[in-house]
Structure formats: structure tokens, C-alpha cells
Amino acid sequence: MTNKNLRLGYALIFLSNLMFWYAPWLLFLLQYIDLPQAAILQAVGLVTGVVAEVPTGALSDLIGKKKTLLLAFLFTGIGELITGFSSDYWTFVWLWMLLNIGYSFYSGTMEAFMYDTLAAKGEEKQYSKVVSHMQVALNAALAVGSLAGGFLFTIWHWSPFFLTGVAKIAAFILALSLVEPAVDTDTFSWRNFVSQTKQGFAHLFSAPMIKEVSFLLIFGSFMAIAYEFLDDIAIVDWGFDGIKIGFIYTAGTLLAVAGSPLYRPVARYIKPAGIVLIAGIFLALNYLFSPWITAGIWVSFLLLRSFFSPIRESAISELLNHKTKSAIRATTLSTYQLIRKIPYVILAASIGTSMEQIGIKWFSHDFALALIACGLAYGVILLLWQWRQKWVRAQA
């Protein structure tokens, strides 16, 4: 049953990430609303996702991963089908809330389902191999969706969202064949629900996790700003249209597919935390020189990030999963996703205002400087803590 679950899981990851709107979503919205409204819409969606992230993760651990995935595909499928034929700002607001609730059901749950499938058979050591295959399926889907979506948008502007919804409904039907892994799952009750959520927070900030989690949250917070808003606005600011954006995103995802199998060989020489650090350096370099470089150089940095992205995500996944038990795995992963997005939610209005005042390229430069400063501050604090630990042991 393990192999069947894994095969179905790979197929579901492909269908759930077959996002034909991935490249032209901002261009689609700008037909009906302006850029400030689009920024607010993204913030509303992100707030909804942040609020729903941990409760849906806890729900996944309590009612089962299969049921949670079915809810995810149902909510996102319906939301995307309706979005394709919508044109009103307030309709978009409600749809973005529905979609992000659905994405919250999916976030962490698919990953936890795959890990628990292995754990049920005592095959956790195979996870690094499985997570690489998961990244292949994810990025292959994004490549197909990006390339097709850019062209479809020029023909029928509603089709990228509509066809993405069709893919989600297909995923819902396929997910009916999943078999829930036989691991620790508690009976649902509101008391257990609250307890589950507390356990996720407590575990994430427990002594065995705090060093890695602090590092991941620093990088993850900047990554959330880049991936949720800055990347898509910057590429439009550089003057690319829907088809060109589709080609760039497709190239990026194909590079990510090529990079996906490399996690295991890279991890033999570089620890997961080192891999995440390299990803942070790539992110900073992508934006640090924005005011002075050409569009071609900027795109080259973006593609380099894309190639490395599955290696980065596999490293983050292993760091979080390695010290987490099955009963609270989805809750812990969802808690991490929630906390790393909070800075963007708080700063969304200021980010939009800063972009208007100083321009997107100079904002990008300041964004990279802030990332570097936070990384250096973390490094100094970590060194001081390690020196203190050595001093305490020496005194003992």
C-alpha cells in the first residue's frame, strides 16, 4: 500500500501545482483592478492563509490527512473555477479568502501524508529520496502550467484560472483512492483541537528545535515577501508581458526539475542548514543590485534561484520533519508556515507605500540589505550563544 500511496501522492502534487494562472495572475487582475488593490488583495489572501494555517494543520492531524486534502482540492477547485469568470474587486476578495483557506488545508498536509506513509512502514530513511521526487512533480507541474498559461491568457483571459480549477477537481477525484497512513491520529474534539495547536507551537520553539527554527524563520520571512509579492511585481516592472513571463517561469521550473534530484548528493557534503544559507545568499544577490543591472541579469539570478529552490525546500522539509513526531507533524509544519508569513502581513501596507515612493528597484535593493543585516545579526547571536555554552561547560 505504501507504493500506491506514494504514486498517488506524486500525481496529486502534480495536479495541485498545475497552476495555469501562475505566470499571468497579476496581468489578469490588472484588467479589472489597479496595482494598490492587487497588493491589498494579496495581503487579504495572505492574512486568511496565516489565520487558517495552524487550525487546518491541527485539523489534518486530528481528522486525517486524506480528508484534509479532499477539502483542500474542493475549496481551491471551486474558487479557481469562479475566479476565471469574475471581474469585481470585492468578489476577488471573497474568492482570495476561499482559495487561501483551501491552500492552508493543503499546506503541510501533503508533505505530512507522504512522510507518514513511510513512517507507517518504518521507512523514514527513504524520505530524502521521496521529497526529491515530490519536488520533481511540483516543478514539472509549474513548468507546464506557466508555459501553457501565458499563451492561454492571450487567447482567453479567463482560461488560466478555469483550467486550474479543473485540475483541482481532478485531484479531488483521485484523492478518494488514498489510504490514510496507520500512524498516531487522535479523535477530533474541540479540546483536542486546541491542545493540538498548542503542541505544534510548543514543539516548534522547544529546545531541540529553536536554533534551526529561528534560522528558518529569518530566511522564511524574507522568502515570503519575495515569493508572495516582490517577484511577481518586479518581473512586471521590468516590462515583461504575459507570454514572456510564462517563458521565464517555465524556464525556472524546468531548471527546478533538473535541480530536484540533486538534494541527496548535495546533502552528503552540505548540511541542510548550510543549504538554506546558500539559498538566502542567492535571494539577496537577486535583488541587491537591481537599480544598476539589466533585465537579463536580473532574470539570470531569478533562474539560478529557481534551479536551487527544490534543494532548498527539501532541506527545510528535512530540518522540520527530522525532530517531529507524526501526531503533530502537520500542525508543526503549518505553524512554521504561519509564523514566517506574519512579517509580510504586518508590513504589507508599508511595503506597497515604499514601492510607490522609491520605486520597485530601489525597494528591492533595500530588501536585500535588510536580509543580509538580519542574517549577520543571527550569526553573531549564534556565535555568542555557542561561546557562552562552551564557557559554562568549562566552568562546570
Query: What is the mean pLDDT of each successive set of 10 residues along the chain, which is 396 residues long?
Result: 79 92 88 82 82 66 81 95 93 94 84 80 74 82 88 90 96 89 55 63 71 84 88 89 87 84 87 90 94 94 91 85 70 76 80 84 95 92 82 73
Taking the domain 2-181+188-395, which CATH number applies? 1.20.1250.20
SS (H, E, C) the chain: CHHHHHHHHHHHHHHHCCCCCCCCHHHHHCCCCCHHHHHHHHHHHHHHHHHHHHHHHHHHHHHCHHHHHHHHHHHHHHHHHHHCCCCCHHHHHHHHHHHHHHHHHHCCHHHHHHHHHHHCCCCHHHHHHHHHHHHHHHHHHHHHHHHHHHHHHHHCCCHHHHHHHHHHHHHHHHHCCCCCCCCCCCCCCHHHHHHHHHHHHHHHCCCCCHHHHHHHHHHHHHHHHHHHHHHHHHHHHCCCCHHHHHHHHHHHHHHHHHHHHHHHHHHCCCCHHHHHHHHHHHHHHHHHCCCCCCHHHHHHHHHHHHHHHHHHHHHHHHHHHCCCCHHHHHHHHHHHHHHHHHHHHHHHHHHHHHHHHHCHHHHHHHHHHHHHHHHHHHHHHHHHHHHHHHHHHHHC
- Say what the pLDDT of residue 302 is: 94
Half-sphere exposure of 88 (CA within 13 A, CB side): 5
Query: Residue 188: what pLDDT?
Result: 46
Which pLDDT value is given to residue 196? 60
Domain boundaries, the chain: 2-181+188-395
Its pTM stands at 0.73
Residue 195 confidence (pLDDT): 64
Give the torsion through C-alpha atoms of 377, 378, 384, 387, to 10 deg. -150
